[in-house]
Amino acid sequence: MNGHFSNDALRPGTSEAVCLGPYGDPSDGMDCSSTARFQVLRHRQPVLLVCPVHLGPSLLMADGVLWPPQLSLIR
């Protein structure tokens, strides 16, 4: 796992990151139980961890996404 995000994004008891897509706000009511596979860099905000399903929508709708997008694969 990459160290660019906080431990708050990890599933309890595991080293897997939880998807925060598509907007990056856990309180927005858009809960996703999938494991994050990508991290999207954002301007003046923490990286956005997303699953493959939310990658496209997060690039289009999340706040502060850099353009052109800068993505990293999470293993």
User: Is 35 a domain residue?
Assistant: yes
Q: Which domain holds residue 33?
A: 7-73
User: What are 24-56's pLDDT values in tens digits?
Assistant: 776 676 678 899 999 999 999 999 999 999 999
Instruction: Write down the pLDDT at residue 11.
Output: 52
Query: Is residue 68 included in any domain, yes or no?
Result: yes
Strand partners, 17: 10
- The number of domains in the chain is 1
The pLDDT assigned to 8 comes to 54
pLDDT of residue 21: 80
How many residues does this entry show for the chain? 75
pLDDT in tens, 5-21: 554 566 555 568 889 88
Is 2 inside any structural domain? no
Which two structure tokens, joined as six digits, stand for 39? 């991290």
Q: Which long-range contacts (CB under 8 A, 24 or more apart) does 2-11 make?
A: 2/39, 2/72, 2/74, 4/39, 4/47, 4/72, 5/39, 5/46, 5/47, 5/49, 6/46, 9/36, 9/49, 11/35
**Is 1 within the bounds of a domain?**
no
Is residue 12 included in any domain, yes or no?
yes
